[in-house]
Amino acid sequence: MAKQLTSRSENYSQWYNELVVKADLAESSSVRGCMVIKPYGYAIWERMQRALDDMFKATGHVNAYFPLFIPKSFLSKEADHVEGFAKECAVVTHYRLKQNPDGSGVVVDPAAKLEEELIVRPTSETIIWSTYKNWIHSYRDLPILCNQWANVVRWEMRTRLFLRTAEFLWQEGHTAHATSQEALEEAQRMLEVYADFAENFMAVPVIKGVKSANERFAGAVETFCIEALMQDGKALQAGTSHFLGQNFAKAFDVTFMNKENQQELVWATSWGVSTRLMGALIMTHSDDDGLVLPPVLAPIQVVIVPIYKNDEQLAAIVEKLQPLVGALKARGIRVKLDDDDTKKPGWKFAEYELKGVPVRLAMGARDLENGTIEVARRDTMTKETLPLEGVEEHVAGLMDTIQRNILQKAKDFRASVTRTVDTYDEFKVEIEKGGFLLCHWDGTPETEEKIKEETKATIRCIPFDGDKTPGKCMVTGKPSKQRVVFARAY
């Protein structure tokens, strides 16, 4: 097969890169670091968007749209934020091209230089808070619960499809509140929404927690996160939710009149997930044969492949299959009957395995005779032959079964590579094997930095759940309140 993949054990990174391209999810474009999201990949992203958008609306949020460009001076208004985001960004300096007098094409028109450069948004806190200033006057104007679906640009030097690209798609929620407590609750609520989405739609188990100061968002007071674990034992930050305190309200002078008629600074949150989730989805479930998609997000949930010797047989099989197609559609299942006669069944089998279609049904001459059909599961790669009659019920049941099975499999894998480590010597050995290491840490940025420099491991989060027994830092021996989660990460 031309499409055969490098195996995960051979070269995990290459396996991923090949899979993304060969399964028609995305590819690199002519613009350095920018990807093209191909229709099959985009169809998965659309399902993610729809599910998340429904969840945001169910928690009281509305969508809006803010400008792509941010005046350079806005970035500087919040000291940490400019440190974090001004470094690598796309800068618009001119607004016109003109014909080169030498006839060689178009050149930048020097007469069309902007007075102030514009930055292509790397994130929108600054432009949004400069807008909220005009929207917020009284406590009656609060809370504001806005979300935006948008593209953002961060000029990354080393890019990988979905995981780290110069331009990516995301949603960014930006909320404004009258009290610290309310903002904090909002940030935590949205983290729960992300965790719910990751587990119940993507079938990706995540650890919920709070970031250490070193790993905090530039401008945040607290950053909450969900951390997933990939099959190579590396962690992937799958979503973040920030409690921004009054930092952006201060930077943009956003105050409100409270019920006691006093001016106060507004409290803020922001939260986002991006097309990076596609990377998490792919790397959590897929195998050496290709993608494995959770049925909830699969653009095609069931594919039906007729196996035939001649046109007459094909026609008979397709006719026999029509009621099944109808019955599956009636149950809301996304089904495709592939009767393309320019491709062989074997080619189709491999193709739909590569594309991660959860269930494949096949019917050949003998099935036609016997009134049976072959049912194959992508997650377990098992097959069974069942009576055609009533098979739609079995297939419908498989949607749930597969969704639960791949989540459980991912949970089991995570459990198998999560362990407690008590000494730094042991840590240095264990971290090479990958996985989550639960260790005591003294809470200082210095110790965290030392561990990162020496082992490339970072604190993924201080987990909300799990063992809260105090102990001693594995590096310094100083007291530690609870174990934190270490890993090497994407």
Interacting residues with its own copies (CB under 8 A): 27, 29-31, 34-39, 42-43, 46, 62-76, 82, 86-98, 105-106, 108, 117-120, 127, 130-131, 134, 140, 146, 150-151, 153, 155, 167, 169, 342
We find the least distance from the C-beta atom of residue 396 to its own copies, in angstroms, to be 23
CB 335 within 8 A of CB 303: yes
We find the least distance from the C-beta atom of residue 117 to its own copies, in angstroms, to be 6
By beta-carbon proximity to its own copies, the closer residue of 241 and 275 is 275
By beta-carbon proximity to its own copies, the closer residue of 51 and 473 is 51
By beta-carbon proximity to its own copies, the closer residue of 138 and 380 is 138
By beta-carbon proximity to its own copies, the closer residue of 93 and 408 is 93
We find the least distance from the C-beta atom of residue 444 to its own copies, in angstroms, to be 27
As a whole number of angstroms, the distance between CA 66 and CA 307 comes to: 53
Q: At a CB cut-off of 8 Å and minimum separation 6, what does 441 contact? A: 447, 448, 451, 459, 473, 474, 475, 480, 484
We find the least distance from the C-beta atom of residue 246 to its own copies, in angstroms, to be 21
Give me the sign of the Cα torsion angle 449, 450, 456, 462: negative
- Smallest Cα–Cα separation from 306: which of 351, 337, 352? 337
We find the least distance from the C-beta atom of residue 57 to its own copies, in angstroms, to be 10
By beta-carbon proximity to its own copies, the closer residue of 76 and 385 is 76
By beta-carbon proximity to its own copies, the closer residue of 89 and 421 is 89
The DSSP secondary-structure symbol of 462 reads E
As a whole number of angstroms, the distance between CA 479 and CA 108 comes to: 60
**Three-class secondary structure of residue 213 per DSSP:** helix
The DSSP secondary-structure symbol of 337 reads E
CB 72 within 8 A of CB 53: no
We find the least distance from the C-beta atom of residue 247 to its own copies, in angstroms, to be 17
Tokens of 427: 């840590």
We find the least distance from the C-beta atom of residue 115 to its own copies, in angstroms, to be 10
We find the least distance from the C-beta atom of residue 23 to its own copies, in angstroms, to be 14
By beta-carbon proximity to its own copies, the closer residue of 131 and 284 is 131
CB 385 within 8 A of CB 402: no
Q: Which residue has the tokens 């749930």?
A: 400
We find the least distance from the C-beta atom of residue 197 to its own copies, in angstroms, to be 20
Strands (E), 333-401: 335-337, 359-363, 372-377, 383-387
Residue 25, H or E segment: none
State the Cα angle at 119 between 114 and 123, rounded to 5°. 155
By beta-carbon proximity to its own copies, the closer residue of 36 and 315 is 36
Tokens of 278: 């596609």
Q: What is the residue-wise DSSP string for 236-302?
A: EEEEEEEEEETHHHHHHT-EEE-TTS-EEEPEEEEEEEETHHHHHHHHHH-BTTB----TTT-S-SE
We find the least distance from the C-beta atom of residue 40 to its own copies, in angstroms, to be 8
Length of the chain: 490
The DSSP secondary-structure symbol of 380 reads T
- One-letter amino acid of 170: W
**Three-class secondary structure of residue 81 per DSSP:** helix
We find the least distance from the C-beta atom of residue 367 to its own copies, in angstroms, to be 28
By beta-carbon proximity to its own copies, the closer residue of 15 and 85 is 85
By beta-carbon proximity to its own copies, the closer residue of 87 and 404 is 87
Residue 132, H or E segment: helix 125-135
By beta-carbon proximity to its own copies, the closer residue of 162 and 441 is 162
